[in-house]
Amino acid sequence: MAVGVLALQGSYNEHIAALRRIGVKGVEIKKPEQLRGVDSLIIPGGESTTMAKLAELHNLFPALREFVGSGNPVWGTCAGLIFLANKAVGQKTGGQELVGGLDCTVHRNFFGSQLQSFEIELVVPKLAEKEGGTNTCRGVFIRAPAILEVGPNVEVIADLPVSSDQPKVVLPAIDGQEEREFTDDKVIVAIKQGNLLATAFHPELTSDSRWHRYFMAMVEEAKQEATPSEALVKYDVYANDEDVNAIGKRHLDLPIFE
Query: Annotated binding residue at 213?
Result: no
The gap from C-alpha 178 to its chain's centroid, in whole angstroms, comes to: 30
Pairing between β-strand 85-89 and β-strand 136-141 as defined by DSSP bridges: unpaired
Measured CA to CA, the distance from residue 256 to residue 205 in angstroms comes to 6
Question: How crowded is residue 15: how many other Cβ atoms within 10 Å of its Cβ?
Answer: 28
Instruction: Give which of 57, 108, 74, 62 is closest to 6, Cα–Cα.
Output: 74
Query: Annotated binding residue at 138?
Result: no
Query: Annotated binding residue at 142?
Result: yes
The residues, any chain, with a CB within 8 Å of residue 129's CB and separated by 6 or more, are none
- Catalytic residue positions, numbered: 78, 202, 204
Q: Are 28 and 12 in contact (CB under 8 A)?
A: yes
Q: How many residues does the chain have?
A: 258
Question: How crowded is residue 190: how many other Cβ atoms within 10 Å of its Cβ?
Answer: 26
Query: Annotated binding residue at 209?
Result: no
The gap from C-alpha 192 to its chain's centroid, in whole angstroms, comes to: 10
What are the binding residues? 46-48, 108, 142-143
What are the binding residues for L-glutamine? 46-48, 108, 142-143
